[in-house]
Amino acid sequence: MIAYQFQPGFILDQFPELLGGLKLTLIASAIGIAGALVVGVLAAACRSERVPLLDRLMAGYVEFFRNTPLLVQIFFLYFALPEVGIKLDAFTVAWLALVLWGGAYQAENFRAGFEAVSRGYREAARALGLSQAQMFAAVVLPIGLRIALPSLTNIGISILKNSSYMVAIGYHELTDTAVNIVSLSFRVFEMFFTIGVIYLGLAWLFGVGMGALERRLALPGSR
């Protein structure tokens, strides 16, 4: 039989250290999620409103970041950019990588939402004499945002989970903290059980919160 003693007390001993890691995870994820929404809205607006030149540029950005691994993007920011004199610390790379990667995915989500706004609404806005910018701000954005909300939530959760990639550049977030503790103590099960529960719990909380927001913002007539 396998001799491994699960020691719950060990989790309590390490808790303060894990909380420190959790704090950094939350900071990087919060900036990542918020930043990705901003980048996503702007990129999607350029594409769905067919802004000349910028729509092509944003399409390129979206396809590039969606079709290359996040980890390689992180490596590029952290290990390659210093070669041309751009030195970013681990924290900056952590949130910046999440914003750039998440922004590309959120752009696709927003675009799908914007394009699902029925043509009739756009025509009505035009008939009322709204400019394209006014129409976007007053009609397309508020409606498209609500349509996109569930998929925006999913990518938000992915950003939170993917903040764990920052182990690779030694940003001391939750996973990095746990891995450090494991390599000193070999308390594998205790640590991975704990951070597993924390990540699943955070994702669940985020999903519940966004679900409540979805119901609050539900379009009249949709269920």
Question: Measured between alpha carbons, how far is 164 from 176 in angstroms, rounded to an integer?
Answer: 7
Backbone angles phi, psi at 93, to 5 degrees: -60, -40
Residue found under tokens 């955070």? 202
Report, in Å, the least distance between residue 61 CB and other proteins: 13
Q: Kindly write down the DSSP assignment for every residue of 37-98, as one continuous string.
A: HHHHHHHHHHHHTT-TTHHHHHHHHHHHHHSS-HHHHHHIIIIIGGGGT----HHHHHHHHH
The size of the interface with other proteins (CB under 8 A), counted in residues, is 37
Question: Measured between alpha carbons, how far is 205 from 189 in angstroms, rounded to an integer?
Answer: 24
CB nearer to other proteins: pick between 55 and 132 = 55
Is residue 153 close enough to count as binding other proteins by CB under 8 A? no
Is residue 182 close enough to count as binding other proteins by CB under 8 A? yes
With CB under 8 A as the contact rule, which of the stretches 92-100, 120-128, 199-207, 210-218 interacts with other proteins?
199-207
Q: Which of 10, 61, 75, 121 binds other proteins (CB under 8 A)?
A: 75
**What is the Cα 122 distance to its own chain's centre?**
30
Is residue 14 close enough to count as binding other proteins by CB under 8 A? no
| Cα-Cα-Cα-Cα dihedral sign, residues 147, 148, 150, 151 | positive
CB nearer to other proteins: pick between 136 and 175 = 175
With CB under 8 A as the contact rule, which of the stretches 39-47, 90-98, 144-152, 193-201 interacts with other proteins?
193-201
Q: Which residues bind other proteins (CB under 8 A)?
A: 2, 4, 63-64, 66-73, 75-76, 79-80, 82-84, 161-162, 164-165, 167-168, 175, 179, 182, 186, 188-189, 192, 195-196, 199-200, 203
